[in-house]
Amino acid sequence: MTDQDLSSKLDRLLALLEAQLELTRQGQREERLRQAHLSREETIDLSHSDEQAGGGDESMIGDPNTPTPAPRPRRSVSFNLNEYTETNYEKYASPTRPKYLKTRVDPYSRSRMDFYVQEQEEEASIMAERSKPVATPFPKFNPRDIEIYILEAEAWFRFNQVYEHTRMINHLGSQLEGTAREWWTSKLCFDRTREGRLFNDWQFFTKRLAEQFNPRNARMEAYNKLLALRLTSDAPGAATRHVEQFKDLEGQVNLGDNELTIDLFRGSLTRSIQEKFERNPPHELWEWFREVEEIDRQRMLLQQASARHSQANNASSPGTRPI
């Protein structure tokens, strides 16, 4: 006989023993209830018989004017604890009386699954009690200082015992206003399932939020200025000033991407300067700076030469000669 067959037979034997034990307990409980019912009926019968016997006796004790006290019904005394439990339960646990005593539950008659379900219900009630919302208003969105707003939100989450990153992010996102609200909506449209890191990592979310909307972030301000920078004039000297301004902002931002920086610089130039690089554009950013400054220097030299030429013409004209 294999170990598996022996184990299965033992399991079946244990199941039969448990079923037999349960039937025995059920029979004992029914017997106790029957005995209690019979004892109550006997008590009622005795009380009725005593009342009938005492009702026909009109004798006097001592003084003829003193009536004989009515006989009291006998009270049955039982030392059965189970019977006492059942009668007390019927007496005190009725709908019109407070429940002072509960029925005794046999712990051995409950299955293991009952204990497991009870533990789960207790844990669920504890978690529900912990996650119960507190009547504390959420901090109002402050676009002037995002970092302070994030600190206030974190304090609110700790006070209300909210530690799940997804719930924290979604709740704070729903409180955003203005451009921050538009930014949050765009992220929701991009990731509808909310599986990205932005919706599941609190530190990552707050960092991105601060980078986008914190006005005291100098790097972000420089980046926004760099995107908006445009050369709008072909006047001599304007391109050189534009190159210096672009260098200053790019140094504050420090993109670290040569191609992206070149695209930004090229897009910020006027159309006439961009046309000069259509056939042979430079490959390095410093070459772009040098070429644009050279174009601007040639324009300034041309302007100076034109000015000198106009002055010479004015000096050699007949109207300026002395008579």
Q: Report CA-CA distances (Å) from 49 to 54, 56, 68, 72.
A: 9, 12, 18, 11
Q: Do 197 and 270 fall into the same domain?
A: no
Q: Do 249 and 207 fall into the same domain?
A: no
Last residue of a domain, one of 187, 216, 245: 216
Helix (H, G, I), strand (E, B) or coil at 237: coil
For the chain, 323 residues long, give each residue's pLDDT as a single digit of tens.
566 777 787 788 788 888 888 888 888 888 888 888 888 877 777 666 665 555 544 444 445 555 555 555 555 555 554 544 455 555 444 444 444 444 555 555 555 555 555 666 666 666 655 555 546 789 998 887 888 889 899 999 999 999 999 999 999 999 998 888 888 988 888 888 888 888 899 999 998 888 777 665 677 788 889 999 999 999 999 999 999 999 999 888 888 888 999 999 999 999 999 999 988 899 999 999 999 999 999 999 998 888 888 887 777 765 555 54
Q: Which domain holds residue 96?
A: 80-104
What's the predicted TM-score (pTM) here?
Answer: 0.35
Q: Report CA-CA distances (Å) from 217 to 24, 114, 143.
A: 79, 58, 13
Q: Do 235 and 158 fall into the same domain?
A: no
Q: Do 227 and 285 fall into the same domain?
A: yes
Under 8 Å between Cβ of 217 and 256: no
Q: Do 232 and 260 fall into the same domain?
A: yes
Whether 306 is in a domain gets the answer yes
DSSP single-letter state for residue 284: S
Under 8 Å between Cβ of 37 and 29: no
Q: Do 242 and 286 fall into the same domain?
A: yes
Under 8 Å between Cβ of 143 and 178: yes
Whether 127 is in a domain gets the answer no
Task: Give the number of domains in the chain.
Answer: 3
Q: Do 257 and 186 fall into the same domain?
A: no
Whether 52 is in a domain gets the answer no
Q: What does the pLDDT read at residue 121?
A: 67
Q: Do 212 and 256 fall into the same domain?
A: no
CB neighbours of 70 closer than 8 A, spacing ≥ 6?
54
Whether 43 is in a domain gets the answer no
Whether 17 is in a domain gets the answer no
Q: What does the pLDDT read at residue 59?
A: 46
Q: What does the pLDDT read at residue 56?
A: 47
Q: Do 212 and 225 fall into the same domain?
A: no
Last residue of a domain, one of 45, 72, 104: 104
Whether 61 is in a domain gets the answer no
Q: What does the pLDDT read at residue 129?
A: 58
The DSSP annotation for 140-170 comes to PP-TT-HHHHHHHHHHHHHHTT---HHHHHH
Q: Do 205 and 265 fall into the same domain?
A: no
Whether 36 is in a domain gets the answer no
Q: Do 232 and 269 fall into the same domain?
A: yes
Whether 297 is in a domain gets the answer yes
CA 265, CA 288: separation in Å to the nearest integer? 8
Q: Do 189 and 205 fall into the same domain?
A: yes
Tokens 């409980």 belong to: 29
